[in-house]
């Protein structure tokens, strides 16, 4: 973090120092909300959590070397006390940004693929200049300031994943950190239940990103998605498009190798270069082309973008994480989250990776936050399993999992319904055979991530031998 004294921080956030004998004490390591991540010189930010209150860890944080705590009340150790800690994080992020050497801020949003694309983009931009990007999927009003705190004077490019669960969310984020470049990936049905009003209202909310761009900025839009293209008139920035069917930056001659990894030719204004991705699933073609478009918009050559994409790796776990077990079972952990679109791409990747000859086992949890259409989406998911030629389904959950199960059975899939994660693990213990390809996926709250991780480490489960 750029060094700031407690006095400067207090002024930036409109707070008052408490129990802080030295207002000139310096914070020069990133602000963090987890006291276990405190480095000497850090600012510990005490947030009320779901399970515990950050204020309880104030003393431990200072003991671990934190210069001070950002808190909602005095905590008996050096603190800056503010009325609202979350608001103060935003104000501090803005103050930090103002002290940086004007890095180019790239914001990206979309219904699916933000984290995957952010990781690809960061790996391309790193070949151009010093880059800081959102860690994992920290894409909200807390994660965005935390990302800004990681930047310092050497940071030239700042990549921020921006999530949105309703109108005004992205506007709030761009109010803290105004982006110069805005990338919108797609408009799907993720969180549609929370938005209300269907895809149109999601497009309205995600479009807040391009509304925040300046005239000398750049809006990077998905030419294959009409909802994204409908945002073009909402920005004063020039527009650069990407896509597989259309777009300024195009992916053509797309192929999947035997393991389901895409390769394609990247083209822009008559230039072209080959890309061979190390990531699994056809959906990454769109994500990679989006990342290339941003890099090209920032001055990269087509060849440079293509080479960096070819060298890029999966950075964030839980997204099409592939493990080859010693017993010949391939485990695909895509259990970080799920919605109808991401289920579709994951199921098609599953059958692509099996190459026709292997048994495919989809372990699918329910999809949350789909609103009124939720039942219909779950019934459709079962049909999708059948359409993709998946041989076996293990549906995990209650009434909605039962809908997936029923429509998959109708489609000729060998299907089993289990109530929860533990029951799924119990069943899989005896179910999986050498040669199987197993996909584990469901909404975050179903908790299948843990199951996927345990399946990928069969020794821990006594599955081998
Ligand atoms: N371009 C895409 N189109 C459709 N589905 C995608 C795309 N890219 C990724 N996915 C699917 O969406 C899942 C989530 O991917 P990722 O974490 O990159 O998205 P995200 O937008 O960051 O999600 P979140 O809203 O949870 O932060 C992946 O596991 C994958 O199955
Ligand atoms: Mg994400």
pLDDT tens digits along 196-206? 678 899 999 99
Domain membership flag for residue 465: no
Over residues 169-182, the mean pLDDT reads 98
Asked whether 43 and 53 are in contact (CB, 8 A), the reply is no
CATH of the domain at 74: 3.40.1390.10
- DSSP letter, residue 286: H
- DSSP letter, residue 4: E
Q: Which atom of ligand 1 is nearest to the CA of 320?
A: 29
Question: For position 459, what pLDDT does the model report?
Answer: 63
Beta strand 16-18 with 79-81 is: antiparallel
Domain region containing 146: 100-311
Whether residues 325 and 441 fall in one domain: yes
- DSSP letter, residue 77: S
Question: For position 319, what pLDDT does the model report?
Answer: 87
Domain membership flag for residue 185: yes
E strands in 368-460: 392-396, 414-418, 437-441
Whether residues 241 and 195 fall in one domain: yes
pLDDT tens digits along 39-79? 999 999 999 877 789 999 999 999 999 999 999 999 999 99
Within its chain, how far is the Cα of 290 from the centroid? Answer: 15
Domain membership flag for residue 316: no
Whether residues 238 and 270 fall in one domain: yes
Over residues 102-118, the mean pLDDT reads 96
Domain membership flag for residue 91: no
Of 54, 83, 112, which residue is a domain's last?
Answer: 83
For residue 114, what are its two tokens?
A: 């933000």
pLDDT tens digits along 226-285? 999 999 999 999 999 999 999 999 999 999 988 889 999 999 999 999 999 999 989 999
Domain membership flag for residue 462: no
| Confidence grade of residue 458 (pLDDT, cut at 50, 70, 90) | low
What is the dihedral angle through the alpha carbons of 26, 31, 37, 38, rounded to the nearest 10 degrees?
20
Whether residues 417 and 448 fall in one domain: yes
- DSSP letter, residue 65: T
Q: Total structural domains in the chain?
A: 3
Ligand 1, CB within 6 Å, residue ranges: 110, 112-116, 137, 139, 163, 185-186, 190, 283, 286-287, 319-320, 334, 336-337, 341-342, 345-346
Report the percentage of the chain scoring pLDDT > 70: 97
Domain membership flag for residue 90: no
Best residue among 192, 342, 348, 442 to mutate for probing ligand 1, ranked by most atoms within 8 Å of CB: 342
The helix (H) or strand (E) run that includes residue 24 is none
pLDDT tens digits along 352-385? 999 888 999 999 999 998 999 999 999 999 999 9
Q: Which atom of ligand 1 is nearest to the CA of 287?
A: 1
Residue the block writes with tokens 């908790």: 447
Whether residues 395 and 429 fall in one domain: yes
Best residue among 161, 319, 341 to mutate for probing ligand 1, ranked by most atoms within 8 Å of CB: 319
Asked whether 387 and 364 are in contact (CB, 8 A), the reply is no
Whether residues 46 and 185 fall in one domain: no
Name the residue at shortest CA distance from atom 19 of ligand 1: 113
Of 49, 83, 117, which residue is a domain's last?
Answer: 83
Q: What is the CA(404)–ligand 1 centre distance, in A?
A: 21
Calculate the average pLDDT of the chain: 94
CA 126, CA 60: separation in Å to the nearest integer? 35
Whether residues 76 and 104 fall in one domain: no
Question: For position 457, what pLDDT does the model report?
Answer: 85
Of 311, 345, 371, which residue is a domain's last?
Answer: 311
Whether residues 290 and 218 fall in one domain: yes
Domain membership flag for residue 416: yes
Check whether 314 has a pLDDT greater than 60.
Answer: yes
Domain membership flag for residue 189: yes
Q: Which of 338, 298, 388 is nearest to 103 (CA)?
A: 298
Whether residues 104 and 187 fall in one domain: yes
Asked whether 250 and 268 are in contact (CB, 8 A), the reply is yes
Question: For position 318, what pLDDT does the model report?
Answer: 85
Question: For position 188, what pLDDT does the model report?
Answer: 86
For residue 398, what are its two tokens?
A: 């209650």
Asked whether 82 and 13 are in contact (CB, 8 A), the reply is yes
Whether residues 76 and 150 fall in one domain: no
Residue the block writes with tokens 């776990």: 317
Whether residues 177 and 246 fall in one domain: yes
Q: Which burial class, exposed, middle or buried, applies to 201 when counting CB atoms under 10 A from its CB (0-12, 13-18, 19+)?
A: middle
Check whether 461 has a pLDDT greater than 60.
Answer: no
- Count CB atoms within 10 A of the CB of residue 327: 14
| Confidence grade of residue 464 (pLDDT, cut at 50, 70, 90) | very low
Whether residues 397 and 432 fall in one domain: yes
pLDDT tens digits along 387-443? 999 999 999 999 999 999 999 999 999 999 999 999 999 999 899 999 999 999 999
For residue 60, what are its two tokens?
A: 């431990």
CATH of the domain at 451: 3.90.190.20
CATH of the domain at 198: 3.40.1190.10
Report the percentage of the chain scoring pLDDT > 90: 86
């Amino acid at each position: 973090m750029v060094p700031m004294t407690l006095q400067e921080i207090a002024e930036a956030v409109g707070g008052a120092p408490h129990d802080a004998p030295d207002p000139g004490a310096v914070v020069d390591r990133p602000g963090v909300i987890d006291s276990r991540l405190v480095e000497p010189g850090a600012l510990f930010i005490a947030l009320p959590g779901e399970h515990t209150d950050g204020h309880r860890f104030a003393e431990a944080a200072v003991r671990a070397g934190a210069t001070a705590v950002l808190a909602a009340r005095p905590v008996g150790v050096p603190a800056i006390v503010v009325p609202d800690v979350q608001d103060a994080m935003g104000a501090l992020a803005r103050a930090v940004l103002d002290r940086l050497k004007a890095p180019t801020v790239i914001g990206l949003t979309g219904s699916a693929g933000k984290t995957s694309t952010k990781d690809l983009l960061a790996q391309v931009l790193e070949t151009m200049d010093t880059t800081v990007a959102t860690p994992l999927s920290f894409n909200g009003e807390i994660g965005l300031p935390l990302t800004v705190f990681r930047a310092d004077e050497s940071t030239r490019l700042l990549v921020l994943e921006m999530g949105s669960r309703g109108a005004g969310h992205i506007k709030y984020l761009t109010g803290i950190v105004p982006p110069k470049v805005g990338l919108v990936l797609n408009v799907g049905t993720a969180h549609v239940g929370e938005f209300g009003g269907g895809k149109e209202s999601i497009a309205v909310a995600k479009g807040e990103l391009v509304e925040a761009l300046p005239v000398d900025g750049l809006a990077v839009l998905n030419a294959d998605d009409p909802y994204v293209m409908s945002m073009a008139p909402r920005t004063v920035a020039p527009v650069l498009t990407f896509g597989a069917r259309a777009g300024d930056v195009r992916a053509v001659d797309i192929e999947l190798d035997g393991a389901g990894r895409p390769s394609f030719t990247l083209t822009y204004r008559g230039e072209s270069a080959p890309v061979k991705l190390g990531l699994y699933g056809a959906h990454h073609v769109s994500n990679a082309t989006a990342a290339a478009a941003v890099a090209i918009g920032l001055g990269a050559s087509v060849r440079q973008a293509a080479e960096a994409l070819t060298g890029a790796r999966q950075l964030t776990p839980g997204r099409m994480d592939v493990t080859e077990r010693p017993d010949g079972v391939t485990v695909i952990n895509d259990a970080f989250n799920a919605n109808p679109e991401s289920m579709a791409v994951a199921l098609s990747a599953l059958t692509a990776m099996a190459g026709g000859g292997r048994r495919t086992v989809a372990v699918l949890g329910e999809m949350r936050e789909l609103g009124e259409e939720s039942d219909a989406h779950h019934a459709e998911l079962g049909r999708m399993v059948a359409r993709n030629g998946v041989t076996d389904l293990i549906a995990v959950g209650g009434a909605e999992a039962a809908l997936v199960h029923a429509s998959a059975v109708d489609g000729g899939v060998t299907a089993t319904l289990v109530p929860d994660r533990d029951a799924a693990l119990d069943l899989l213990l005896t179910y999986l055979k050498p040669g199987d390809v197993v996909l584990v996926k469901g909404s975050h709250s179903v908790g299948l991530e843990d199951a996927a991780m345990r399946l990928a480490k069969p020794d821990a489960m006594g599955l081998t031998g």
